[in-house]
């Protein structure tokens, strides 16, 4: 497990513990209050699940695009070094790296756009739940990978 994954896992466990304690403390009211709280928590949970599915799909697409860019670069560079003149090698190497850069830029922009869309949709859905902000994990959105 990488240091980043360990930090994310630790933060997730801390959030879950805080969330569980808060939820238990809030359910000590009347049946109507408990039902209302449970409904709001379930609503936010549904919004989180939708966001996470969208982010997972976007990350899968990003990594597939990045893998494709690396594979294409490797193939282009291998071809470049079969040339018989320095000028041809230089031209093909430059083209390989230029194409790689463009592919990675497109993949990164697509990932960032999809990530932003997932978080925007989540915030809208979570707001409609009318749950207190302490139920949401929006404060952790900065921990998302940037795609650099």
Three-state secondary structure readout of 47-103: HHHHHHHHHHHHHHHHHHHHHHHHHHHHHHHHHHCCCCCHHHHHHHHHHHHHHHHHH
Do residues 107 and 66 touch, judged by C-beta distance below 8 A? yes
pLDDT, tens digit (0-9, with 9 covering 90-100), for 46-66:
999 999 999 999 999 999 999
Q: Please report which confidence band the pLDDT of residue 17 belongs to, taking 50, 70 and 90 as the band edges.
A: very low
Asked which of 18-22, 63-67, 90-94 is least confident by mean pLDDT, the reply is 18-22
d(CA 98, CA 105): 11
pLDDT, tens digit (0-9, with 9 covering 90-100), for 94-124:
999 999 999 999 999 999 999 999 999 999 9
Place of tokens 């409904």: 39
Q: Is the pLDDT of residue 129 over 60?
A: yes
Q: Is the pLDDT of residue 77 over 80?
A: yes
């Amino acid at each position: 497990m990488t240091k980043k994954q360990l930090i994310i896992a630790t933060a997730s466990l801390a959030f879950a513990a805080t969330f569980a304690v808060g939820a238990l403390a809030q359910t000590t009211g009347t049946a109507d209050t408990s039902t209302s709280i449970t409904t709001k928590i379930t609503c936010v949970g549904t919004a989180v699940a939708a966001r996470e599915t969208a982010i997972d799909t976007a990350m899968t697409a990003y990594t597939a695009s990045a893998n494709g860019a690396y594979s294409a670069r490797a193939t282009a560079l291998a071809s470049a070094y079969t040339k018989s003149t320095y000028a041809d090698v230089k031209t093909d190497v430059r083209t390989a790296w230029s194409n790689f850069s463009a592919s990675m830029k497109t993949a990164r922009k697509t990932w960032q756009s999809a990530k932003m869309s997932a978080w925007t949709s989540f915030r809208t859905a979570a707001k409609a739940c009318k749950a207190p902000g302490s139920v949401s994990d929006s404060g952790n959105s900065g921990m998302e990978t940037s795609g650099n």
